[in-house]
Chain A
Amino acid sequence: MNALIKFFVAMVALTAALNVFAAADLEVNTPGVNAIKQSMQARHTQLAAHYASGAVGLTADGLIALRDAGAVPLAQRQAVNALVAAENQDRNALYAEIANANGHPEWQAEIRSTFAQRWIQRAQPGWWVQGDGTWKQK
């Protein structure tokens, strides 16, 4: 009986230790993640003005969308559409890459929703963000 108790205590200690390791960190420093990050960083210098004008807003699903095409001169509209499409492609790839890099592809949806909240929370004043299906200005 004593041995059984010892075994049980050891198992509890082991699972507690594993718990700490499992929940400790999320690996985001991989070549794939870094490449996407750099691409998004370069694009942001072009996108920043469109966030500020309200033409482009942050969506609730961790992407961006053309919110008010009227805020963009007709000649630039196609370029902005291309920027939005490229940014969303990068963002989708980023969420998938982080999930895969951590060996849990099924985490992708949770990573996406975490990012969605953080993008919106950290958006600058004046930018448009989506909440409950409607657009709001920060």
Chain B
Amino acid sequence: MKKIRIVVPLMALALSACVTINIYFPAAAAEKAADKIIDEVWQTQKADKPAENQPAAKEAK
């Protein structure tokens, strides 16, 4: 009976620790995700220079 008195609060503590961990914001993962999206939106994945579409670029005759 005495053991239960120790184990139950311990379990509650452990469970609350799990909840706290799940609320933690994954900053490093967010940064990686942001970079991935920025690459795709700005099209900067592999190019050193911006791959801008210039409609008036081709004037070759």
A residues in contact (CB < 8 Å) with B: 3-4, 7-8, 11, 14-15, 18-19, 22-26, 28, 33, 37, 40-41, 44-45, 48-49, 94, 98, 104, 107, 110-111, 114-115, 117-119, 122, 124
SS of A interface (majority): helix
Cβ of B42 and Cβ of A122 under 8 Å apart?
A: yes
Per the bound structure, the CA–CA distance linking A11 and B17 in Å amounts to: 10
Q: Mark B19-52, 1 if CB is under 8 A from A, else 0.
A: 0011111111111111111101111100000101
Contacting residues, chain A, for B31 (C-beta < 8 A): 114, 117-118
- Once A11-B10, A41-B43 are accepted as A-B contacts, the answer to whether A26 and B22 lie under 8 Å apart by CB is no
Cβ of B29 and Cβ of A107 under 8 Å apart?
A: no
B residues in contact (CB < 8 Å) with A: 3, 6-7, 10-11, 14, 17-18, 21-38, 40-44, 50, 52-53
Nearest chain A residue, comparing its CB with the CB of B28: A23
Most B Cβ at <10 Å: residue of A3, A24, A45: A45
Nearest chain A residue, comparing its CB with the CB of B39: A122
Distance in Å: Cβ of B28 to nearest Cβ of chain A: 8
Cβ of B37 and Cβ of A44 under 8 Å apart?
A: no
- Once A15-B14, A110-B27 are accepted as A-B contacts, the answer to whether A98 and B42 lie under 8 Å apart by CB is no
Per the bound structure, the CA–CA distance linking A68 and B3 in Å amounts to: 71
A-B contact pairs, 25 of them (CB 8 A): A3-B3, A4-B3, A4-B6, A4-B7, A4-B10, A7-B10, A14-B14, A14-B18, A15-B17, A18-B18, A23-B21, A23-B29, A24-B29, A26-B33, A28-B37, A33-B37, A44-B42, A48-B50, A49-B52, A104-B25, A107-B30, A110-B30, A114-B27, A117-B31, A118-B35
